[in-house]
Amino acid sequence: MKEFKYFSPTKIIFGEGKFQEIANLLPSAKKIFVVTGKHSSKANGSLDSLKTLLKEKTLLIFDEVEENPGLETVNKGANIARKNEIELVIGLGGGSPMDAAKCIALLATNDGLMENYLNGEKNNSVPLPIIEIPTTAGTGSEVTQHAVITIGSHKKGFSNQEIFPKIAILDPMLTLSMPQNITVNTGVDALSHSIEGYLSILATQESDKVAIESIKIIKEELPKVVQDGKNIEARSHVLYASMLGGFVISRTRTIILHALGYPLTTFYRIPHGKANGAMLPWVFEFLKKGEHTNSPLQEKISSILEIFGDINKFINDLGISTKLSDYGITRDDIPRFVKDVWGRRNLEVTPKEVKQEDIENIYKKAL
Ligand code: NAP
Ligand code: FE
């Protein structure tokens, strides 16, 4: 049996309406920094609800987190937090505000800028406690030690055991307001986490069980949510599967698929999950090439394909094109995409050697 480590320090509160119980779930902190996006938490009422539910506390709202949060944003949020003797950080929103909340919690108790820590500097002090409240069902950030920060046109992953959230409140009601495209894109992100985690060289028998469960749920339930966005039961399942995907990548990290998707997001503003979906069939094709039919990798790929039948069709039926030219991407983009992908840590855990020309060929095929 393969050896493994298991560390999941996040207390999880899952269920319809659980957000309403937040006041009873919080530690005794009085001064709280709330990190959220620019629009959706106001439009769907979740930010106002949070203010009402925590009216006994002093809340400082930082509502400047953009999609794919930038360095400047987390540094700015951290400066405000530092000046205000914050005791606790809440991230409310999708992966972007949740990731920003983690970075701000770390910077609030440590000197310097986020770039120092992205470049490998170790923090001296323990970050502030973090509570994550997802309003998308995709990143699983509420249960991981990971955050992704964008520096110009490069997305950089950051992992630190100390930014595991203390509490994750998963209330599927908060995901009801997602329009169809965001539901699909974030759901496909969750799917890619579980697929990549299943194929990662860090996968274990334990993470495999969780990954397969998550993949099966998304296959069944995501199309139901697309058909009827008010289907709370299906929304619950997708949020649950997304959390499972978070458990998986907290152990296995993500592989070449996430790496290939990043430049699509930074250069063409294709949302994160959609970018993964667009590249998914091409990654399968690359991983399958030259493998013996009974190799362990081939067997794993076959078991995913058995669940889906045609995975390309599954992605296309959700409204995601798997042809890069449909997004305006051309051959001329490939060199800068390859440069962005080459050297990423994701390649180290990909279950097959990846050469620079492989990356180029995958993009060429995907055009
Ligand atoms: P997001 O960037 O947080 O949000 C996408 C869009 O959805 C935004 O316009 C947001 O609005 C809106 N939105 C969020 N919740 C909504 C709701 N309930 N109703 C209506 N609209 C809503 O998207 P995401 O896919 O969840 O997160 C993506 C980020 O997470 C990327 O930076 C990605 O790299 C990162 N990520 C992190 C991990 C990890 O392990 N930490 C894993 C995968 C991906 P507002 O902007 O107004 O809030
Ligand atoms: Fe992701």
Residues 101 and 246 in one domain: no
- What's the CATH code of the domain at 149? 3.40.50.1970
- Given the CA of residue 176, which atom of ligand 1 is nearest to it? 18
From 8, 71, 92, 96, mutation site for ligand 1 pocket: most ligand atoms within 8 A of C-beta? 96
356 φ/ψ sector (left φ>0, alpha ψ -120 to 50, else beta): alpha
The domain that contains 267 carries what CATH number? 1.20.1090.10
Instruction: State which ligand 1 atom lies nearest to the alpha carbon of 148.
Output: 34
Give dist(CA 99, CA 102) in Å, integer: 5
284 assigned to some structural domain: yes
Show which of 173, 197, 226 is a domain's final residue.
173
138 in the same domain as 34? yes
Residue 189 CA, closest ligand 1 atom number: 43
In a shared domain, residues 167 and 201: no
Tell me the average confidence (pLDDT) per consecutive run of 10 residues in the chain, 367 residues long. Answer: 89 98 92 98 98 98 98 98 98 98 98 97 98 98 98 97 98 98 98 98 97 98 98 98 98 98 98 98 95 90 96 98 98 98 98 97 98
The Å distance, Cα 95 to ligand 1 centre, comes to: 4
C-alpha of 289 from chain center = 28
- By C-alpha distance, which of 169, 223, 163, 168 is closest to 191? 223
Q: What is residue 200's predicted lDDT score, i.e. its pLDDT?
A: 98
Amino acid type, 14: F
CA of 187, nearest ligand number: 1
Q: Which burial class, exposed, middle or buried, applies to 99 when counting CB atoms under 10 A from its CB (0-12, 13-18, 19+)?
A: buried
- 345 shares a domain with 219: yes
Ligand 1 atom index nearest CA of 39: 47
- Determine the pLDDT at residue 27: 81
Same domain, 274 and 131: no
Domain final position from 129, 157, 173: 173
- Nearest ligand, CA of residue 189? 2
CA distance 197 to 60: 36
Contact between 207 and 161 (Cβ < 8 Å): no
Domain total of the chain: 2
Are 110 and 54 contacting, i.e. CB atoms less than 8 angstroms apart? no
Q: For residues 239 and 352, state if they share a domain.
A: yes
pLDDT value for 306: 96
Q: Which residues form the domain of 255?
A: 180-366
Task: Specify the pLDDT at position 292.
Answer: 84
Report the candidate in 58, 49, 134 with the shortest Cα–Cα distance to residue 99: 134
In a domain, 3, yes or no: no
Contact residues of ligand 1, CB 6 A cut-off? 37-41, 44, 67-68, 93-96, 99, 135-136, 138-141, 144, 146-148, 155, 174-175, 177-178, 182, 186, 189, 249, 272-273
Query: Atom 4 (ligand 1): residue with closest C-alpha?
Result: 94
Antiparallel, parallel or unpaired: β 31-37 and 11-14: unpaired
pLDDT at 194: 98
Helix (H, G, I), strand (E, B) or coil at 226: helix
